[in-house]
Structure 1
Amino acid sequence: MLKPADMFDRDREWAQLVGFVEDQRPGATLGVVSGRRRQGKSFLLEAVCQQAEGFYFSAQEATEAESLALIGAALTRYLDPVAPIEPRDWPAVLDILLRIGRERSVPVVIDEFPYLARASPALPSMIQAAYAPRRAERMESRTRLLLCGSAMSFMGGLLSGDAPLRGRASLDLTVHTLDHLAAARFWGITEPRLALLVHAVVGGTPAYRTEMIRYDAPVDLADFDTWVSRAILSPGSPMFLEARYMLAEEPDLRDGALYHSVLAAIAEGNTGRGGIAGHVGRKSNELAHPLTVLEDSGLVLREQDAFRANRTDFRINEPLLAFYHAVMRPYWSQLLRGTGADRIWERSQGRFAGSILGPHFERVCREWTLYNAGDRFGDWPAQVASGTVNDPANKTTCQVDVAVLGHTDGGRPPLLAIGEAKWNDVMGLGHLERLLRIRELLAGNGKFDTSATRLACFSGAGFTADLLERAVRGEVELIGLDDLYTTAD
């Protein structure tokens, strides 16, 4: 099956789906497709079903009886039997789905599966029973059943631990957001600075450009501020409420006020558990559950400190969610009135630069280093993270924005590079001297092999002449916006 011409990127996802669907070996198989809303999961699955003449059913929020009637009607349209299909229970539906694949390998998609499981909690166990290894109906079928859903916490639990479907699935596919490189191509933005500004606001969710704002993109850097006001801050735009809907769509996020407060704390730079607790007004141990739920939902990332195993930072995974809490939420009442968006955006420039652009730029630098830099730092990295290093002599703590660790075979892990990232600062010798001091401290503690550690400066504003001269001499790697929007061969 050829990937549809109107499908952007998603080569890996398409190849995995095609491989799963075209498997001609006997025996029905099960796959799980997950990902946050508006990433193109349904588009992928509908395209697969169209090409392979499969069955596609999108569930709705409904009772068990209504859901059975809806899927019965869909099966009647698909199979065109003599009499309408009116299943009495889910095992009867599953047997019909297995019979669809008796003659050929065929995709059968149940989209929005969490809606069905919420109304019929035993449904995963029923699928487990239908897919029993030696059950005749399964062995005689080549149905390729795909369960799809956007509730990440639920979908993540389908195949984990002692869940009924653990060990039953032969495909577990997550459709992620587009990275900053693919997002720039998708938005048609060739200016790296503008591309990163847009990505810092809306991230890499495809539907934000297509269905949500109908291809309204900033024309150039001068149009960016106006675009934010009209496309994001205007109550008439579908994007205006999108961040609030993200939490509402997750069934496990029941205490909305608490979760919004936790996200607001992280958006304001309180990335440690103690800082979050202080902002929210709760004890640190009381935040273990909400932080875990946010992480399982894909809304928050837990990042381990590169140099201190007992330290963990939390980052908001969805840029629009961070933008909402840092920029929109403080002025929500005014924004709802539909007036003053331009003025509010003007007053929010400092908060946008400090709470959004700075951390987002650092994250993009880490992701580029891990996935796109190749062996620019001497070897392929095994881990890229931020980290903190104690400086006892100066009684301070040094923050490392980009720490690049290599593969180890049992000895001390090689520290390939340490780097500092500045979005709006022209970087100079002072930044290099700070990195030299940090490398010296790391060499002294003996935990890492620093014999080949390189120094790197990431800047969105450029570098001074004397730092450029040091780069020519091989003393430092300089990575600008143009580099961040290229991929190593």
Structure 2
Amino acid sequence: MPRPVEMFDRDREWAALSRFATDDGAGATLGVVSGRRRQGKTFLLRALCQAAGGFYFAAEEATDAESLRQIGAAIAGHLNAPAPLALDDWHQVIDALLALGRKGPIPVVIDEFPYLVRANSRLPSIIQSALAPLRAERDESRSRLLLCGSAMSFMGKLLAGNAPLRGRAGLELIVPTLDHQRAAQFWEIDDPITALKVNAIVGGTPAYRKEFARDDTPDSPDDFDAWVLRTVLSPTSPLFREARYLLADEPELHDAALYHSVLAAIAAGNANRGGIASYLGRKSGDLAHPLTVLEDCGLITREPDAFKDNRTQFRINEPLVTFYHAIMRPIWSDLEHTRDAQPLWQRAQRRFTSNILGPHLEQLCRQWTRHQAPDDLFADHPFRVASAVVNDPANRTSHELDIAAFGLDDDGRSPLLAIGEVKWGEIMGIGHLERLAHIRGLLTAQGRRGAAEARLACYSAAGFSDQLRERADKDPGIVLVEASDLYR
């Protein structure tokens, strides 16, 4: 089907939905669409139904009886019936939805599906029963039933393990956030430093530009601070309270204070379990459950050390949540009541650089190295990229690596391709290169495969000294990556 002209990107998602919705095979089929809020799932599914003449129903937080009345009225409206359908239970609803596909393939969308299950936990089992093989209502239908939701903890379990719908779905589509390159195009920002700063605050969520900021983008690098003040730090902007609402939208987060504190600890730079526990004044073992719940909700990611799987760091997935906890939460009352937030924003610059820009750039550099760097930059395509800590026994210390890139041999082993360091506001020079060379020597002494030939990569948003550039021009084993490279 032709994609809507107003749709930005989402070629892969639109193609997958189009194939699923127009599949002419016999029998009703099931698909599941998920993704964090504000990514454009509803836009995609509404556009799909409009293009294919499908049925779309957006569930609300309501009682089971009210939801039955609402979907009965929606089905009647789709069929141009003179009165709403009186459907007594969800068995009748699902059969009515399957009946929509008796004449040919048609997309049938139930958006915000978790709301319905919250009121009636039997609904997934009812759908499983309705889609059972050799059942006439299923076999005579070509309805392409799509269940959509933003509660990631719920949607992630819908098809997992012993869940009723396990093995029933023919499509499982996760709508991701835009990566930093597509986000810069979407926000129409050409300057790489400004693009990085904006991305460090709002990430790649499309709705934050269109609906939340009303197409307000920084006009130039000099306009960035003013843009922050009139959007995310303005109590009149929807972005101001969005980070709080993201947590409130997750039904699994029962103890909001605890989860906010865990996120605040990570945003403050406490990336491992011990640091988080110390920040909260709790034992490390007490954090297993809240960390797992936050991970299931898609709010944090657990990242193992490149060289030690039992050493783990945690990272917040949503930049706006990081910005809220690192910048806004400590001065929330002041932001709500002040008429001029500029002094507050100026005093927060140090935290913005160290807690937001630096870690965000490190993550983008890992992502760029893994997925977007030219294949010849590291002699092979990186198969895995992670951060690491390397022990230095002789000096009784350890060294942090922002980048450790690994390839993949035909025998399944992963040689080290490159190690790297990332700096936001520091011009990198020979000293940084010598530090990386020392760490490469430690890894070589440990017998790490490929360490002796690993390239030394310097990533800097501030640039490089003339001496380092001269060395890199002469030595192909030295890789320099600046902000503009991340957007090529």
For normalisation by structure 2, the TM-score amounts to 0.98
> 1:302 is paired with a residue of what secondary structure?
strand
Residue in structure 1 matched with residue 429 of structure 2 by the alignment = 428
1:397 is displaced (CA, Å) by 0.9
Q: Distance in 1 between matches of 2:389 and 2:331?
A: 34
1:411 is displaced (CA, Å) by 6.3
Residue in structure 2 matched with residue 59 of structure 1 by the alignment = 59
The reply to whether residue 395 of structure 1 matches residue 396 of structure 2 is: yes
Q: Distance in 2 between matches of 1:451 and 1:390?
A: 17
Residue in structure 2 matched with residue 215 of structure 1 by the alignment = 215
Residue in structure 2 matched with residue 14 of structure 1 by the alignment = 14
Residue in structure 1 matched with residue 482 of structure 2 by the alignment = 480
Residue in structure 1 matched with residue 461 of structure 2 by the alignment = 460
Q: Distance in 1 between matches of 2:427 and 2:81?
A: 70
**Alignment check: 8 A CA contact 2:305 2:386 kept:** yes
The reply to whether residue 268 of structure 1 matches residue 273 of structure 2 is: no
> 1:234 is paired with a residue of what secondary structure?
coil
Residue in structure 2 matched with residue 406 of structure 1 by the alignment = 407
Question: Which amino acid counterpart does residue 350 of structure 1 have in structure 2?
Answer: R
| CA RMSD, Structure 1 to Structure 2 (Å) | 1.0
Q: Distance in 1 between matches of 2:20 and 2:381?
A: 30
Q: Distance in 2 between matches of 1:227 and 1:338?
A: 17
Residue in structure 2 matched with residue 155 of structure 1 by the alignment = 155
**Alignment check: 8 A CA contact 1:412 1:447 kept:** no
1:247 is displaced (CA, Å) by 0.4
> 1:400 is paired with a residue of what secondary structure?
strand
1:83 is displaced (CA, Å) by 4.8
**Alignment check: 8 A CA contact 2:441 2:452 kept:** no
Q: Distance in 2 between matches of 1:326 and 1:243?
A: 12
> 2:427 is paired with a residue of what secondary structure?
coil
Q: Distance in 2 between matches of 1:297 and 1:448?
A: 36
The reply to whether residue 237 of structure 1 matches residue 276 of structure 2 is: no
Q: Distance in 2 between matches of 1:2 and 1:453?
A: 46
> Equivalent residues in 2 for 1:172-321 (5 A)?
172-321=172-321
**Alignment check: 8 A CA contact 1:235 1:338 kept:** no
Q: Distance in 2 between matches of 1:88 and 1:400?
A: 61
The reply to whether residue 441 of structure 1 matches residue 442 of structure 2 is: yes
**Alignment check: 8 A CA contact 2:416 2:448 kept:** no
Gaps of 5+ in 2: none
- Per-residue CA deviation, residues 440-484 of structure 1 (Å, 9 max, x unaligned), is 111111143224311100000000011001111124100001110
> 1:217 is paired with a residue of what secondary structure?
coil
Question: Which amino acid counterpart does residue 289 of structure 1 have in structure 2?
Answer: H
Residue in structure 2 matched with residue 128 of structure 1 by the alignment = 128
Q: Distance in 1 between matches of 2:470 and 2:374?
A: 24
1:185 is displaced (CA, Å) by 0.2
Question: Which amino acid counterpart does residue 185 of structure 2 have in structure 1?
Answer: R
Q: Distance in 1 between matches of 2:82 and 2:483?
A: 63
> 2:46 is paired with a residue of what secondary structure?
helix
Of 133-142 and 435-444, the range deviating more from structure 2: 133-142
> 1:458 is paired with a residue of what secondary structure?
strand
Q: Distance in 2 between matches of 1:82 and 1:343?
A: 61
Residue in structure 1 matched with residue 343 of structure 2 by the alignment = 343
Q: Quick one: percent identity of the two aligned structures?
A: 61
Question: Which amino acid counterpart does residue 485 of structure 1 have in structure 2?
Answer: Y
**Alignment check: 8 A CA contact 2:273 2:284 kept:** yes
Residue in structure 2 matched with residue 91 of structure 1 by the alignment = 91
Q: Distance in 2 between matches of 1:68 and 1:339?
A: 47
Residue in structure 1 matched with residue 109 of structure 2 by the alignment = 109
Question: Which amino acid counterpart does residue 327 of structure 2 have in structure 1?
Answer: V
> 1:147 is paired with a residue of what secondary structure?
strand
> 2:81 is paired with a residue of what secondary structure?
coil
**Alignment check: 8 A CA contact 1:13 1:175 kept:** yes
Distance 1:201 1:411, change over 3 A: closer
> 1:332 is paired with a residue of what secondary structure?
helix
**Alignment check: 8 A CA contact 1:234 1:338 kept:** no
Q: Distance in 2 between matches of 1:181 and 1:398?
A: 30
1:341 is displaced (CA, Å) by 1.0
**Alignment check: 8 A CA contact 1:387 1:399 kept:** yes
Residue in structure 2 matched with residue 144 of structure 1 by the alignment = 144
**Alignment check: 8 A CA contact 1:99 1:137 kept:** yes
Q: Distance in 2 between matches of 1:218 and 1:308?
A: 42
- Per-residue CA deviation, residues 33-73 of structure 1 (Å, 9 max, x unaligned), is 00111100000000000000000000000000000000000
Q: Distance in 2 between matches of 1:87 and 1:479?
A: 61
1:165 is displaced (CA, Å) by 0.5
**Alignment check: 8 A CA contact 1:412 1:449 kept:** no
Question: Which amino acid counterpart does residue 472 of structure 1 have in structure 2?
Answer: D
Q: Distance in 2 between matches of 1:390 and 1:241?
A: 42
Question: Which amino acid counterpart does residue 373 of structure 2 have in structure 1?
Answer: A
Q: Distance in 2 between matches of 1:69 and 1:338?
A: 46
